[in-house]
Amino acid sequence: MAVSFGVFGTDTMDKIGVYSLRIESEIAPNKWIEEFTVYGSSDPDTFYAMDTIQHGGDFYFDGMPGVKYRAIMVAYAKNASGYEYSKEMACTGRYCE
C-alpha cells in the first residue's frame, strides 16, 4: 500500500517533512489498532526536504488484502525562528486490495 503525504510551510524552511507516520488497521467499525510507526529519521531522503517551502512523497508498506488501514502523521518544520511539530493528522481509512 502507498501513503502519500504533503507538508507545507509558511515560508522557506531549513527542514520540513514528516516526523512520524503511524499505520493503523481497523479491527471493528471505527476501532483502530497500531500496526507500526515509522520515523522520518529512519529514511530522511523520503521524509524530509531542506531549504524549501514544502515536501511531499510516498511511503510504501505491505498490507493484507481486505484490511482497512489509515495513516496518522506528525509533520515537522524548522527555520531560523525555531521548529514546530504539528498535531496528529489522520487520513481516511482505505482498504488494501
Q: Which residues, 6 or more positions from 61, have their beta carbon under 8 angstroms from its beta carbon?
A: 1, 3, 23, 36
pLDDT tens-digit map of 75-87:
999 998 898 988 8
- Portion of the chain with pLDDT greater than 90, in percent: 80
Judged by average pLDDT, the poorest of 19-23, 36-40, 65-69, 81-85 is: 81-85
Range(s) of the domain holding residue 11: 2-95
In the predicted structure, residue 97 carries a pLDDT above the cut 80: no
What are the cell numbers at 6? 504533503
In the predicted structure, residue 1 carries a pLDDT above the cut 80: yes
pTM value is 0.89
Sign of the dihedral through C-alpha 69, 48, 74, 90:
negative
Number of domains the chain contains: 1
